[in-house]
A and B are shown apart, each in its own frame.
Chain A
Amino acid sequence: DTGVSQDPRHKITKRGQNVTFRCDPISEHNRLYWYRQTLGQGPEFLTYFQNEAQLEKSRLLSDRFSAERPKGSFSTLEIQRTEQGDSAMYLCASSLEIPNTEAFFGQGTRLTVV
């Protein structure tokens, strides 16, 4: 198993453009999480899936953000009409369906909005 994989690792985009990130979790993990991390801060929860169902979304996740996990495997996070404040590291993590077990993190996608 190669762990959690995220693509791309880096993305530079112009303000107002749409971007999409992909996350491939560890294959036997049916829970998948998205977090956002800005400089000098810890990761902040955005949303999580159990299989293909999106079970929780943070209030941080504005209408411009949408996440999907159509077949319960990989997930995508799309940001529409990007703003400079969206610049951050977007981290994906996955875990087994065991309450409060640890999550395994990918290396993240660093987004820079210019």
Chain B
Amino acid sequence: AQSVTQLGSHVSVSEGALVLLRCNYSSSVPPYLFWYVQYPNQGLQLLLKYTTGATLVKGINGFEAEFKKSETSFHLTKPSAHMSDAAEYFCAVSGEGGSKSTFGDGTTLTVKP
């Protein structure tokens, strides 16, 4: 069965520093990979997605992620953190068993002034 592991349930960075949120997946078929952001008491908003083609994917708000098949990873990065980036981030995979997604447990990003 497909699965997602997000390494580090909490990540803290200073404003202006690099953001790196880690995601590893498992899938028996070519994966479709997503990063979502969730603000308190809100639903999930798509940041970016990988389907096929270019392995470096750019998303909204300056985020990007790179699909590395050999490492089964899809880490999320942003060169310079902003206070408004503080939120919870979820990595998800789909591909097995239809269109439903399997989510990781999330990483809470804190941005210090």
Contact = CB atoms under 8 A, between A and B. Distances in A.
B61 interface: no
Interface in A2-34: 4, 6, 31, 33
B45 interface: yes
Nearest to A92: B43
A100 interface: yes
Interface residues of A, number: 27
Interface string B37-69: 000011111100101000000000000000000
A56 B100 contact: yes
B64 to A, nearest CB: 16
Given A42-B90, A100-B94, A33 B104 contact: no
A31 B99 contact: yes
Contacts of B34: 102
Contacts of B105: 40-42
Interface residues of B, number: 27
B45 A102 contact: no
Given A104-B46, A107-B43, A45 B51 contact: no
Contacts of B102: 45
Nearest to B48: A102
Contacts of B113: none
Nearest to A55: B98
Contacts of B106: 40-42
A91 interface: yes
B77 interface: no
Task: Return the 7 tightest CB-CB contacts between A and B, nearest first.
Answer: A42-B103, A105-B43, A100-B32, A105-B44, A107-B43, A45-B100, A100-B94
